[in-house]
Amino acid sequence: MTTEFWLNDQYISTDASPGLLLLDFLRRNERLTGTKEGCKEGDCGACAVLIGDLVEGSDTQKAYVDYKPVTSCLVPLGEMQGRHVVSIEGVNMDQLSPVQQSFVDFGAAQCGYCTPGFIVSMSWYLMAERGEPTRAGMQRAISGNLCRCTGYEAINRAGDRLIERFSDGGEWADIWQAGDRVAALVEAEMLPAYFSEMAERLGAIEQPEVSLGGNPIDYFVAGGTDLYVQQGEKIPDASVKILNHFGSKISGKFKHMRGIRAVDGDLHVGALTTFEDFGADPLVQKFIPSIQDDLQLIASLHLRNRATLGGNIVNASPIGDMSNFLLGLGATLILSNGKEQRSVAMKDFFLNYKVIDKRADELIVEIVIPGAAKECAQTRVNFEKLSKRTALDIATVCSGFRCKANADGVIEAVGISMGGVAAVPLYLRKTCDFLVGKTISPATLQEACEIAMGEASPIGDVRGSADYKRLLVRQFMIAHFTECYPERVRFDEFAS
């Protein structure tokens, strides 16, 4: 299999294994060693690069390239077909870029190992951020970058200076406000000139059709964010099917693996939808108004740009963030082997630890969230997660919640999940059955908490004791209801 793409300003056509890590290709094959190998688990961001996808033009807008920061240590080379990869070398010019100069001015590089990743991530922010320039936005952009020297104050000062210069009243405010900011950055000699030609270059590369049948496959790779951590050494030499070829078409019963659509009031979400794309979708935002804030508790921007909903579900981790959230929302899975299709409620999908109701020849095609595309002011949704760190950390316990109550506060339907308190993502069946028909009140919630704690069977580990996790079940139950129904229950009523 030949993979064709653009790497910085260079056209690449390679027969290297499609399962080879992009990081290894950059460093070993192309000798672009500015991209560093650190944790090789997606946590440190030293290997951050930008991946650009061609967005086709229309009558009102010309074609352009949409860039996203990712950690190249978890990205298969074969997925780069038709894309533009930008490493730290790709932002270099005869003079320093604004980000590079700001790092110099504020002494933001110490040992320097993390610096290329920070530069790439901050450069993406200047190229692609759609809102006003803010410190919070810049910190979101570098949420996937760690500095082992703990030089964050200097890095933040460098970022603050960039924000100041691109904000209203700053010397570069006109660049930020430009309709085509990448073109404006190129014109101002803040990005290399080749960026202006990239849409045309990518348009000349043919995109393949993804066939999911044929020869036996060792690994189906979606986002790869867990697969490469667990089995990364085996994949380059194995038979691999890359599911997320940019721009490629998936036909037959698998055609809805991409995209989000409303069907008869339900929300159908393709299994290949990334966490970040899920949170950016207008239909999802309408149903889950807090989704952008919720996602800040999950991994980092770099990982959310890669991790897929289907992969998170199939991984079957008891503390999978989005799998627990979707479980609480009452989602149903549509699975197919290309010939037959069936549906399974998520609450019946997880059978035991890492054992799921999926046959070896099946893939998850879609996740269906019932009623999520309908107007329903009575339905409220919430997500809770506790971890040692806010970003880039595994949950101690996480929980999804969906509740429909009438004007009198009587619960008509409810779904609650708890992750990290059982061998599987746990759907609180007894608790939900108890709550239906009850009026939301402190007394009702108190009794529901007792039932929920009884359903949990946590074990102690490095993230907390069994007793602590069981207590978190109670606290999350209270958090869900006080967040969604503050007019009926208050947190201070459960202080003890």
| Tens digit of each residue's pLDDT (9 = 90 or more) over 171-216 | 999 999 999 999 999 999 999 999 999 999 999 998 777 666 666 7
359 and 301 together in one domain: yes
CATH code for the domain in which residue 330 is found: 3.30.465.10
The DSSP H or E segment spanning 419 is: strand 411-419
Q: What is the pLDDT of residue 84?
A: 98
172 and 44 together in one domain: yes
CATH code for the domain in which residue 391 is found: 3.30.390.50
398 and 275 together in one domain: no
Q: Taking the C-alpha atoms of 436, 438, 440 and 441 in order, what is their torsion angle to the nearest 10 degrees?
A: -140
331 and 431 together in one domain: no
Residue 231 domain flag? no
| Confidence band for 241, pLDDT divided at 50, 70 and 90 | confident
Choose one of 369, 391, 412: the last residue of a domain: 369
Token pair belonging to 347: 């609450």
30 and 159 together in one domain: yes
Residue 233 domain flag? no
348 and 411 together in one domain: no
Choose one of 369, 403, 431: the last residue of a domain: 369
Q: In 3D, which of 287, 312, 316, 288 has the Cα closest to residue 298?
A: 312
38 and 131 together in one domain: yes
The DSSP H or E segment spanning 256 is: none
pLDDT surpassing 60 at residue 248: no
Residue 238 domain flag? no
Q: What is the pLDDT of residue 190?
A: 98
CATH code for the domain in which residue 149 is found: 3.10.20.30
329 and 439 together in one domain: no
Choose one of 325, 341, 369: the last residue of a domain: 369
**What's the domain count of the chain?**
3
330 and 184 together in one domain: no
63 and 101 together in one domain: yes
The more confident residue out of 114 and 252 is 114
pLDDT surpassing 80 at residue 251: no
Give me the chain's average pLDDT, please. Answer: 94
pLDDT surpassing 70 at residue 252: no
Q: Which domain holds residue 424?
A: 380-494
- Condensed to tens digits (0 to 9), the pLDDT of residues 214-236 reads 667 888 899 999 999 999 889 99
58 and 184 together in one domain: yes
| Confidence band for 57, pLDDT divided at 50, 70 and 90 | confident
Residue 129 domain flag? yes
The answer to whether residues 369 and 386 touch, using CB atoms and an 8 Å cutoff, is: no
Q: In 3D, which of 239, 310, 198 has the Cα closest to residue 76?
A: 239
